[in-house]
């Protein structure tokens, strides 16, 4: 299961930055230097029981504070943990949003993960999934990570592992995103082989109930919440046939107890068809993205961010079942200045939030209600959710602290249907702000 490594870094970037800076200096302007990244990928060798004989790498960005979420990112066959770190966008997203990334590394010929053996398809049964679960437990214990916000993603062999981990460890993982995978237990074999040609060729089809029973059977007696699943597949995939995409949808809609009829369908890009099951929002129980004319080559640029949004790691998930924001810290005195510039169908809003109290605000959530007909299309310096109605703007890692007397400047672009009024009131971390 080969997927080529992507994400080649632009070697001309330093030169381009220098040229732009020089041009700006002629106009009396300056360009801030790129932020230095203090964090690096490190190997952990003592993470506990390791029946799969895997290697563990972790990336803890400087933006990851106490109780940080955890993402497990699993490479494809022929890949490595360090290769998946450098060839995908998950680490840069971790820098931005402050979560820890664990990169398992297969340690067998071909660098594939075990998703076929009886041991791999059972909760704490041994083999690779148990090793990965112990990596997560290590990070929770040694890094003070949030055990209620653990997620997994992977490509090809890593996508199959994502399916397996959600079946084996529904108590550990909150959601998964599988790029080019197959259903839980589809790759099972009884001859000791790690390859199931019938599954890879898309020749195995089961009822939703049968697929669901296989996933539930990995952890008999478990009655807790089941993790949500996001699925990605290209229609021309010849390594893991596109038929597996439909079988995965059957399985996870059944596991999560939602209808196989989509609740929402759209096309985020020209060749994408996205369907959501059980809900219409960005964190529906099951989300499936079909990519017309695409082969075994995922994820490509921008897709990792879509997975992060599905998990809620972009600031929209606080650990609750609805993917809503966390309970904010205690509030204090604040002032908001809100100005708009509008035209026939759109507007920009500039917001200045000032801490008028005597102690620093460490982590903030600004809440307000947009007037009817206004919908945010993009924003800056804050994470906005949802795009209309009762909106919350959450700090980014770069402006989380507002010292006494200091301000944070944020804003957004919105569409409107004629009403360009400002929100009536604002609260910062639950405390009502003055306006002016």
Known catalytic residues are: 156
Strand ranges across the sheet with 365-369: 383-385, 390-394, 365-369, 427-428, 431-432
Question: CB neighbours of 148 closer than 8 A, spacing ≥ 6?
Answer: 174, 319
CA terminus-to-terminus distance, the chain: 60
DSSP string over 339-360? EEEE-SSEEEEEEEEEE-SSS-
Region class of 25: left (phi > 0), else alpha (psi between -120 and 50), else beta: alpha
Residues β-bridged to residue 77: 2
Contact yes or no for 74/101 (Cβ under 8 A): no
Q: What is the per-residue burial (b if ≥16 Cβ within 10 Å, else e) of 121-152?
A: bbbebbbbbbbbbbbbbbbbeebebbbebbbb
H helix count then E strand count, the chain: 9, 22
Sign, CA torsion 176/182/183/184: negative
- Could you give the angle at which helices 208-216 and 243-255 cross, rounded to 10 degrees? 70
- Cα–Cα distance measured from residue 272 to residue 274, given in angstroms and rounded to the nearest whole number: 6
């Amino acid at each position: 299961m080969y997927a080529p490594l992507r994400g080649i870094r632009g070697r001309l970037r330093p030169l381009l930055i220098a040229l732009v800076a020089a041009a700006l200096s002629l106009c009396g302007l300056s360009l801030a230097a790129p932020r230095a990244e203090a964090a690096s990928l490190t190997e952990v060798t003592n993470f506990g029981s390791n029946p799969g004989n895997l290697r563990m790498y972790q990336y803890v960005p400087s933006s990851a504070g106490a109780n940080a979420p955890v993402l497990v990112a699993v490479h494809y066959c022929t890949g490595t943990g360090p290769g998946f770190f450098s060839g995908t966008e998950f680490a840069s997203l971790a820098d931005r949003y402050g979560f820890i990334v664990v990169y398992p590394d297969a340690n067998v010929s071909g660098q594939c993960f075990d998703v076929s053996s009886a041991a791999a398809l059972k909760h704490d049964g041994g083999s690779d999934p148990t090793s990965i679960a112990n990596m997560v437990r290590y990070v929770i214990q040694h890094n003070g990570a949030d055990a209620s916000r653990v997620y997994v993603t992977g490509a090809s062999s890593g996508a199959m592992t994502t399916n397996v981990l959600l079946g084996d460890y529904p108590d550990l993982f909150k959601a998964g995103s599988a790029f080019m995978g197959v259903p839980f237990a589809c790759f099972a074999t009884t001859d000791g082989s790690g390859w199931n040609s019938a599954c890879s060729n898309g020749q195995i089809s089961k009822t939703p109930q049968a697929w669901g029973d296989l996933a539930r059977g990995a952890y008999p007696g478990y009655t807790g919440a089941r993790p949500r699943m996001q699925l990605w597949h290209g229609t021309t995939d010849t390594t893991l046939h596109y038929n597996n995409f439909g079988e995965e949808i059957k399985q996870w809609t059944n596991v999560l107890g939602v209808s196989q009829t989509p609740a929402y369908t759209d096309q985020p890009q020209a060749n994408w068809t996205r369907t959501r099951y059980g809900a219409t929002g960005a964190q529906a129980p099951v989300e499936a993205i079909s990519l017309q004319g695409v082969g075994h080559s995922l994820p490509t640029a921008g897709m990792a961010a879509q997975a992060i949004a599905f998990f809620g790691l972009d600031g929209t998930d606080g650990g609750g079942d609805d993917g809503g924001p966390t309970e904010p810290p205690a509030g204090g005195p604040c002032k908001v200045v809100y100005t708009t510039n509008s035209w026939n169908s759109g507007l920009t809003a500039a917001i200045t939030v000032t801490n008028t109290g005597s102690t620093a605000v460490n982590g903030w959530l600004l809440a307000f209600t947009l007037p009817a007909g206004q919908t945010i299309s993009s924003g800056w310096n804050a994470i906005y959710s949802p795009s209309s109605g009762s909106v919350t703007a959450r700090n980014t890692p770069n402006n989380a602290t507002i010292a006494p007397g200091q301000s944070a400047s944020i804003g957004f672009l919105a569409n409107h249907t004629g009403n360009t009024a400002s929100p009536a009131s604002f609260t910062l971390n639950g405390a009502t702000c003055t306006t002016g």
